[in-house]
Structure 1
């Protein structure tokens, strides 16, 4: 099991820009920012990476905690580590969990807890705020995390990894006991950085919500993405057309 704890320096936040949900406004010190990388095939198979972070107001740091399985034998151990983490956070006074499309993560972890006879009731311990749902309520539009990061001028470190590629990786980890040992260190670091960026960026979005959620900003960012997608399609079409012309000659 890889257990990693990291500190990331951040600027002091301003309360005037923080998100307010359902007449409840939590300070960052009261929140857990949470994200899982998991493998699901028909039903949840495992949590590959558990990622969560909290804000340390005294030192203006984000404290990131990550667990990553190295073989199928650790698929149960990571669940106990996750439960211990949430118990510890509750004891520290945390009141809410922030996610993005959190229904997926909670469905997976609750299913695996039940399968392994681990009792933990998230709804009894914490309020839950899903940033994707908050955006949809506000703008009547759906959006992915990476596009929302662009709206918030967040420059993501490292590569974006698709959920399907992560699922394939952890399928192999579960199937082949020696697979993880053969994985390049660079690939492991990419996965951990990707997950770390997810939870850290949830913090940035939460504390800057009211600074960026204006209709003109949203529409401009989405329009830029649509133009970029259109340009890519046109470029592909030109390449194909040139190829056909060359072949005919």
Structure 2
């Protein structure tokens, strides 16, 4: 298994622009930013990459952790490492929330696999879940994909875009062929890890710059005119 720990300095931001949840604009300090790359065929098969990060306010850094599966025999080990990571985030770093983008599928996959492999851990009992796609839909009045939202937020990726279907095919081969990972070019492995890391980092920057870019829809002219007429009639 590839285990990657990385720390990156956070670009300047104003906490006043962050997403406001129940009057709390600093909730990001108590959150994990989380994204999985996984393979599902009729039911969840595996997690290919586990990616998570948290904000270190004292050092103004993002601390990123990634686990990448090399063969099917490592899946249970990865799930136990994921459990250990969440427990450490909760007990040591006092994190209370998990931020995702359209994270329902990720939670379905990891919860199914934790249960299947008899790993006694329930994420929902330890963290509240914040889905930025749902928040955007509520505030902007329309749904959107992560890459299009990155464009709105002027987030420029270092990584190339990889389709979900191509990732799924790769992890399917890893689960079926014990030697497939060793035959994969190093460049491909690094590309997948960088892609996942960018997803996680983007979640943070979208969260803390929310008010700069997410605008609630304005009433149309007819609705405004009716409101004015009702006021003066």
**TM-score, normalized by length of structure 1?**
0.84
1:189-224 deviations in whole A, cap 9, x for unaligned?
Answer: 0000000000000000000000111258xxxxxxxx
Query: Could you say what the CA RMSD is over the residues aligned between the two structures, in angstroms?
Result: 1.3
2:191 corresponding residue in structure 1: 190
- What SS class does the counterpart of residue 73 from structure 1 fall into? helix
Pairing 1:61–2:69 present: no
How do residues 211-230 of structure 1 correspond to structure 2 at under 5 angstroms?
A: 211-214=212-215
- CA distance in 1: counterparts of 2:55 and 2:24, whole angstroms: 18
C-alpha deviation, 1:122, in angstroms: 1.7
Is the Cα–Cα contact under 8 Å of residues 12 and 60 in structure 1 kept in the other structure?
Answer: no
Is the Cα–Cα contact under 8 Å of residues 141 and 216 in structure 2 kept in the other structure?
Answer: no
- CA distance in 2: counterparts of 1:15 and 1:9, whole angstroms: 16
Pairing 1:34–2:34 present: yes
2:155 corresponding residue in structure 1: 154
Farther-moved stretch of structure 1 (97-106 vs 10-19): 10-19
How do residues 38-117 of structure 1 correspond to structure 2 at under 5 angstroms?
A: 38-91=38-91, 92-117=93-118
2:174 corresponding residue in structure 1: 173
- What SS class does the counterpart of residue 189 from structure 1 fall into? helix
- What SS class does the counterpart of residue 79 from structure 1 fall into? helix
How do residues 123-142 of structure 1 correspond to structure 2 at under 5 angstroms?
A: 123-142=124-143
- What SS class does the counterpart of residue 111 from structure 1 fall into? helix
Change (3 A) 1:215 1:20: closer
- CA distance in 2: counterparts of 1:161 and 1:93, whole angstroms: 33
- CA distance in 2: counterparts of 1:29 and 1:214, whole angstroms: 23
Is the Cα–Cα contact under 8 Å of residues 26 and 96 in structure 1 kept in the other structure?
Answer: no
Is the Cα–Cα contact under 8 Å of residues 19 and 207 in structure 2 kept in the other structure?
Answer: yes
How do residues 205-216 of structure 1 correspond to structure 2 at under 5 angstroms?
A: 205-214=206-215
**TM-score, normalized by length of structure 2?**
0.90
C-alpha deviation, 1:23, in angstroms: 4.5
1:70-101 deviations in whole A, cap 9, x for unaligned?
Answer: 00101111100000000000011101100000
More helix by share: 1
Farther-moved stretch of structure 1 (53-62 vs 96-105): 53-62
Farther-moved stretch of structure 1 (181-190 vs 136-145): 136-145
